[in-house]
Amino acid sequence: MVLTESELVEAVARDRAAGRTIAFANGCFDLLHVGHVRYLQGAAAEADRLIVAVNDDRSVAGLKGEGRPILPASDRAELVAALRRVDYVVIFGDPTVERLLLLLRPDVHCKGTDYSVESVPERAIVAGYGGRTAIVGDEKTHATREILARVARTEDQGPPRDQGRTEDQGRTKDQGRTKDQGRTEDQGRTKDQGRTEDQG
């Protein structure tokens, strides 16, 4: 479910009171793809509950450049929340997730395989309150920018040529004949052709 920060703080407090552990993941998730799904599946496996922080539109534009995001934050958050392994989603606009980490204090801060534990910027903050950092997901072989580039190439190529004639294109001249063209031989008989035997 998509929550406000205050709602999320309350939900986390209830989970902690029940003895549940919390994992935290974050990202833009602009055009959700299988790499995102595997990252979040890996994060969910680290704890009892998974929080996903989704960048707002302004921060995505700053991170990804002109033309991004493709989808607004509300849509991206809803798509992420629809994944079975995701428990809570929150939209954030900070340059980093440091403030959210200090606010929520998740047991595990999960990053993708484009990081090492040592290179995660928030590692010291997480370690400072007693949490740990985990690297999860598959190898970084999927990217939204690559999907967008493939779509752009397809559009540039244009639609395929029409290689198949329609049935109407194969019609013969005879298919346009009128009713009169089917007259029988009897329609051309002369008056004399109707004389009786006695007339001789």
Position 94 scores a pLDDT of 95
Which tokens sit at 148? Answer: 């967008």
Say if residue 179's pLDDT is above 80: no
Read off φ and ψ for residue 147, nearest 5 degrees. -65, -45
Position 158 scores a pLDDT of 61
pLDDT one-digit tens code per residue, 11-32? 999 999 999 999 999 999 998 9
Q: Which residue has the higher pLDDT, 109 or 64?
A: 109
Q: Which CATH superfamily is domain 5-154 in?
A: HUPs (3.40.50.620)
pLDDT one-digit tens code per residue, 38-59? 999 999 999 999 999 999 999 9
pLDDT bin (cut points 50, 70, 90) of residue 145 is low
Residue 46 · residue 110 · CB < 8 Å: yes
- DSSP-assigned states of every residue in the chain: -B--HHHHHHHHHHHHHTT--EEEEEE--SS--HHHHHHHHHHHTTSSEEEEEEE-HHHHHHHH-TT--SS-HHHHHHHHHTSTT--EEEEE-SSSSHHHHHHH--SEEEE-TTS-GGG-TTHHHHHHTT-EEEE-SS-S---HHHHHHHHHHHHHH-SPP--S--GGGG--GGGG--GGGG--GGGG--GGGG--GGG-
**pLDDT cut 90: percent of the chain above it:** 64
**Domain ranges in the chain?**
5-154
Say if residue 92's pLDDT is above 90: yes
Position 160 scores a pLDDT of 57
Position 29 scores a pLDDT of 96
Position 152 scores a pLDDT of 55
- Amino acid (one-letter) located at 125: I
Say if residue 170's pLDDT is above 60: no
